[in-house]
Structure 1
Amino acid sequence: MSNFQDDDKNSDFLKNDEIQKSPLQERLELEERETQEKRHKKKGGGGGKGGYLFTGFIGVIIGALLVWLMMPGLVNQMPGTTGTTTSGAGKNDTTINQVATEVTTDVTKAVDKASDAVVGITNIQEVSNGGFWSPQSTSDQPAGSGSGVIYKVQGDTAFIVTNNHVIEGAKQLEVTMPDGTKEVAQLVGHDVWTDLAVISISSKDVKTVATFGNSDVLKQGETVIAIGNPLGLEFYGSVTTGVVSGKDRSVPVDINGDGSIDWQQEVLQTDAAINPGNSGGALVNIAGELVGINSMKIAESSVEGLGFSIPINSAIPIIEELEANGEMKRPTMGVSLVDLTDVPSFYQQQTLKLPKDLTTGVVITDVVANSPASKAGVQQYDIIVEMDGQKIETAIDLRKHLYNDKKIGDNLTMKVYRQGKLVELSLTLTNSDSL
């Protein structure tokens, strides 16, 4: 009995021992349970990599939705943009964002300064409409168009410079202003040799006058801007840009259309596009100053970017004299000319009796009665080889010497070959329509 009781006491002791655990034992058991739970999750519980990926995916979707919902507000708050909301037939609104920009460059500033001084010019000529039954029927019709530049306002009159070939043969001239209004123009004067002309209109609608620049200080490669009306008034005020390709260029010109070169036009070369209708328009520098009057281009299939403009420094004296006198008064001799190189060698030897070593000069084919040349004893078939000590090889050399170096009333000495002998003559230059 006592033994049994002893066993019960031992059993009670063990139970009391299990219940009353030390803090260390409780901590160890807790860590053991946490370790077992982690192992259980890795083996296939609800967590793991799949759970992590799913949770991340949900987060991405929620973030994207938030950005999409906030985007209209963010755009409207961006600098440099303006938001415009347009309401449609339904409840949804569409937001249109427009970027407001303002482009200002040296070129645009130059164009703003000069463009309103450039006008369109229409050449109106009398055209025969008659046929066999009504040969006398005529009407006034536009024969061509070009450009011009307003360079001066004096009282009620505005003066415009253009090319001679723009106004040539016109019965009436019509000027189209930048705002589209039209004015009847009057011819003030023109000069066939320099291809310049001056016309005038009422100044009441003139708002801008061109400022003359200095074409002598232009440099190759310097930016220039051509303003005009290529191919007619449909493309009024067109602007092209380029550079000064060359200075002091000489371009051969056939004045009377006979196929022979009569003159060498001194021009600026540019690659700014100059097309039919641009003639008479403005060539301006980057400061918006007029440095040339656009005149011509070489129109060949194998040529591109060869435009020419009359330098404004060369044009100003012509413009002033045309404005004052209506024409250019140049010194003349009173002769007709042909280059010796155009005379067949047979006639050079048999008719002119020239020395064999003489290959250049200018042959006088006709002498005007009572002209300076006639009074000085100049004869038909004299060959001019020298003027005032300057060698003369072509008719262009002769004209340049007369027009650039001499004035009306000046004395001129020249050496000519006559029947194989060298003769020296002297004459006084006067003004006449002939050379």
Structure 2
Amino acid sequence: MKNKELLGIAILAAGIGAGVVYSGLQPNSWYQMSLSQSAHHDSAGTTTVAKTAYVSNDPATQAYDKVKASVVTVQNLQKKASLSQGIEAFLNQNKSQNNDNLETASEGSGVVYKISDGYAYIITNNHVVDGSAAIQLINADGQKIQAEVVGTDAGKDLAIVKAKTDILKTAATFGAVDKLKAGQSVLAIGSPLGSAYASTMTSGIISAPRRELSSKDTGGTALTTIQTDAAINPGNSGGALVNLDGQVIGINSAKISASSDGTSVEGIGFAIPADIVQNFINQNEK
């Protein structure tokens, strides 16, 4: 009999020191290129290859190119913990306005959705920025900039941060989600395992256009989500779930890591739909 209870829906900010198991590397199946070659025979009868041209018309590649520059790594900076200072000081350390002695506590992803009046506005997950003393963003080129949190909602697991546009020049576009169908191709773009793997894209399909996750499933937060089998890993939180038109249809948030009996689970990830994200933005942007 199948046990329908789910265990271990994981939020996906990558913590420092997290264990990582590496398996054999394989090329992504979505990436295909057409190869054209020209060759000729010289008078001696030997064959020489003159030129090789690679041309990619893959829609996934084109969608990725549209969105890549708008997806950033979000670093949650916190003060180095010291229990020797007492439990109260330990718990309240990040409430201080003194930002000396900060270190990266975790890394997630974010999506620039608007550029206005010299500022870039970024949507991410609440759990990515929760508990931070400061926020640092890293763009697709590896450049860093400080940011500030301007709105959060723990219940929706969403947050807005903003930063000056010095290194953030491109905003993504949201796509409609009311007509999503199971089986549609989607891409997940973000920083799995943190900034070392920034701008990573994985591909898959929509497994269910609307999946309700109960507060029991998620450990306290009921969420309406898009279910996908695109690979979503720690560090992908706050990143983009994208259609093949290069439009953001969701913000990646969670995955099921195991069933209640401890069976390993693959290919069950969740993103917060773009319509819920846009409603949150309209209510919380400052």
TM class by smaller structure = 0.7 to 0.9
Query: Aligned to 1:176, which of 138, 144, 154?
Result: 138
1:100 match: secondary structure: strand
Query: Aligned to 1:274, which of 232, 243, 255?
Result: 232
Please name the residue that 1:186 is paired with: 148
1:70 match: secondary structure: coil
Matched residues in 1 for 2:85 and 2:168: separation?
46
1:234 match: secondary structure: helix
Contact residue 107 and residue 286 of structure 1 kept, 8 A: yes
Contact residue 115 and residue 170 of structure 2 kept, 8 A: no
Please name the residue that 1:287 is paired with: 245
Contact residue 268 and residue 308 of structure 1 kept, 8 A: yes
Query: Aligned to 2:162, which of 173, 195, 200?
Result: 200
> Can you give the 5+ residue segments of structure 1 that lack an aligned partner in the other structure?
1-65, 83-98, 325-435
> Can you give the 5+ residue segments of structure 2 that lack an aligned partner in the other structure?
1-40, 94-100
Contact residue 156 and residue 221 of structure 2 kept, 8 A: no
Cα deviations by residue, 1:124-156 (Å, 9 ceiling, x for unpaired): 1122246489x9798322110000000000111
Cα deviations by residue, 1:30-68 (Å, 9 ceiling, x for unpaired): xxxxxxxxxxxxxxxxxxxxxxxxxxxxxxxxxxxx999
Higher relative contact order (CA 8 A, sep 6+): 2
- Taking structure 2 as the reference length, what is the TM-score of the superposition? 0.75
Instruction: Give 1:285 shift.
Output: 0.3
Cα deviations by residue, 1:160-214 (Å, 9 ceiling, x for unpaired): 0000000000000000011111000011010000000000000122231101100
Matched, 1:216 2:169: no
Matched, 1:100 2:86: no
Cα 1:116–1:71, aligned 2, differ >3 Å: closer, same or farther? same
Matched residues in 2 for 1:155 and 1:317: separation?
22
Matched residues in 1 for 2:238 and 2:186: separation?
16
- Taking structure 1 as the reference length, what is the TM-score of the superposition? 0.50
Please name the residue that 1:32 is paired with: none
Larger CA deviation: 205-214 vs 124-133: 124-133
Matched, 1:152 2:144: no
Matched, 1:244 2:233: no
Matched residues in 2 for 1:130 and 1:196: separation?
30
Cα 1:132–1:115, aligned 2, differ >3 Å: closer, same or farther? closer
1:121 match: secondary structure: strand
Cα deviations by residue, 1:294-333 (Å, 9 ceiling, x for unpaired): 0000111431100000000111111121104xxxxxxxxx
**Quick check: which one's helix share is greater?**
1
Give the AA of the match of 1:232: G
Matched residues in 2 for 1:112 and 1:307: separation?
23
Query: Which is greater in Rg?
Result: 1
Percent identity among equivalent residues?
38
Cα deviations by residue, 1:64-113 (Å, 9 ceiling, x for unpaired): xx9993214xx35xxxx33xxxxxxxxxxxxxxxx222222111000000
Listed as ranges, the matches of 1:12-161 within 5 Å are: 69-72=44-47, 75-76=48-49, 81-82=50-51, 99-129=52-82, 131=84, 139-161=101-123
1:217 match: secondary structure: coil
Cα 1:250–1:155, aligned 2, differ >3 Å: closer, same or farther? same
Matched residues in 1 for 2:42 and 2:175: separation?
59
**Quick check: which one's strand share is greater?**
2
Aligned length: 232
Cα 1:208–1:219, aligned 2, differ >3 Å: closer, same or farther? same
Cα 1:103–1:308, aligned 2, differ >3 Å: closer, same or farther? same
Matched, 1:320 2:282: yes
